[in-house]
Amino acid sequence: MRADPLRALLELTDVAPAVARAREAVDAAYRTAGRRRAELAAEMGLRAAVASAALSGSRYGLAEVRTGTVTDPVLQGALRVSAALAGLAPRWPGAPRQVLARLHLLAARGAVGDGELGRPVADRAVTGRIDALVALVTGGAEPGLVRAAVVHGELLALRAFPGPYGVVARAAARVELISSGLDPDGLIGVELGHLAREPEYVGAAGAFATGTRDGVRAWLRHCARAVEEAATAGVSTVED
């Protein structure tokens, strides 16, 4: 049986406890949600899409988005992606490359040319690292949060897709969280956690891109905190 290369990441200082706290917060959120999961997931999907668009520079208020009058292609792409996550999650473990292509097609429609939709940037180094990422997704056994963070960080660092690559990266991370069973019903709008800690998000993503142990550790800790914060605040925020 192949050793999971992500296992060593849990041994980085403070990473395993941060992942455990995030898991506990998610479990608590699911207990609080009770039977209202479908309703809460729909609302959280909307809020997460608005937050993801904001992290890519397209900032709109939730009330304005609810009116249906915002035509910004990045926001519209984020909304399309969010609506598709539950349907794409079952395909993710076996066909991550195809899921990434679909996420980009949904996210980037209207933002890039039709010939670029669903295709990574034409760069041999990017192609090689996407191949490695696909191998991690299809062969990994470590906690889904760790895989989600690595997928997210790699796609950001590579700027792997034309146009709103950040929306694609965040969506791929959400697909991993859903598919792995950490957040099976999509109740945790982790993009809200990233947005709430936006300077840390930007800094930690840059640190991850360096490939150093400290950089990777900073990113993993940030991602765990974002999940924990989103899980802790999520259900109560929707209810308010």
Taking a C-beta distance cutoff of 8 angstroms, is the pair 216, 58 a contact? no
pTM, full prediction: 0.93
Domain count, the chain: 1
The CATH number of whichever domain residue 47 belongs to comes to: 1.10.3290.10
| Residues forming beta bridges with residue 4, ordered by sequence position | none
Position 1 scores a pLDDT of 42
Taking a C-beta distance cutoff of 8 angstroms, is the pair 33, 235 a contact? yes
Is position 1 within any domain?
Answer: no
Is position 99 within any domain?
Answer: yes
Mean pLDDT of the chain: 92
Is position 66 within any domain?
Answer: yes
| Both tokens assigned to 145 | 């949060």
Is position 200 within any domain?
Answer: yes
Tell me the residue range of the domain where 91 lies: 7-33+42-239
| Residue 85 pLDDT exceeds 80 | yes
Is position 223 within any domain?
Answer: yes
User: Per residue in 124-154, pLDDT tens?
Assistant: 888 999 999 998 888 766 678 999 999 999 9
Is position 108 within any domain?
Answer: yes
Is position 2 within any domain?
Answer: no
Choice between 130 and 238, residue whose per-residue pLDDT is larger: 130
